[in-house]
Amino acid sequence: MLYKRTIGSGKDLVLLHGWGFSSALFDDLAQRYKRRYRITTIDLPGHGHSPDVGGGLEEWCCAIIKILPKNPILLGWSLGGLLGIHIAAQLPISRLILLASTPKFVQDDNWKYGIDANNFQQFANTLKIDLAKGLKRFVSLQSADKAKLVQLNLSIDTFSATTQALNQGLEILLNNDLVEEFKQLNLPIKVILGKRDTLVRPQILNWYAKIPVSTQLLDTGHIPFLHKDFKL
């Protein structure tokens, strides 16, 4: 069973984090919104307190679905957004919020909005050499708020991810195409992107607008919820 923590009261809001991190990444966000929502944070398989789960996208989403409250708002950041899309295609959720996320992370002849697979692999491999050091350097490029960085660095030092989970998460990011699945979703969707994001490039804003879904572009990098103007 995956680890989850619930605080607050109101409409259920579930937060799914990204590759290599843990649900502690959302501690500040959860505190800000706990009087408005009943917030559940989940550690992805092999991340934080959660055990490894064999398989890939299907198995990870199945493990998450088992502990979801009924008909929640589902918010996914980065890898968490990809998982959120696949979950939303399988069961009722009231709203989907994607933060710096996309239904396909890697570019090919039919998808110009992703990043080069080799570059992405090199980026991930560099992080895996010393995960804590790599993630700290990554978040240091996302915000100038020293207090937030101290909090994030503490969560990185405290909670890690297994080698199996890192490899599985990378495989999910590199090899899954949920573009058509995303187009078929019939529910309210909001997408928040970062103008300086190098992993989910802001040009995808144009594609999202054609679906159409509600989109917002903040002057931030790959972690838009660190921005002072971020609002759910």
CA distance 216 to 218: 7
Residue 78 bears catalytic tag: yes
157 catalytic? Reply is: no
d(CA 50, CA 131): 17
Pairing of strands 73-77, 189-194: unpaired
Structure tokens at 176: 């899954």
Is the CB of residue 17 less than 8 Å from the CB of residue 81?
no
Rounded distance, CA 92 to CA 176, Å?
Answer: 22
- Other C-beta atoms within 10 Å of 124: how many? 18
Active-site pick, 17, 47, 86, 222: 222
* 8 A C-beta contact, residue 159 and residue 48: yes
Question: Which residue out of 23, 78, 101, 155 is catalytically annotated?
Answer: 78
Question: Which of the residues are catalytic?
Answer: 78, 197, 222
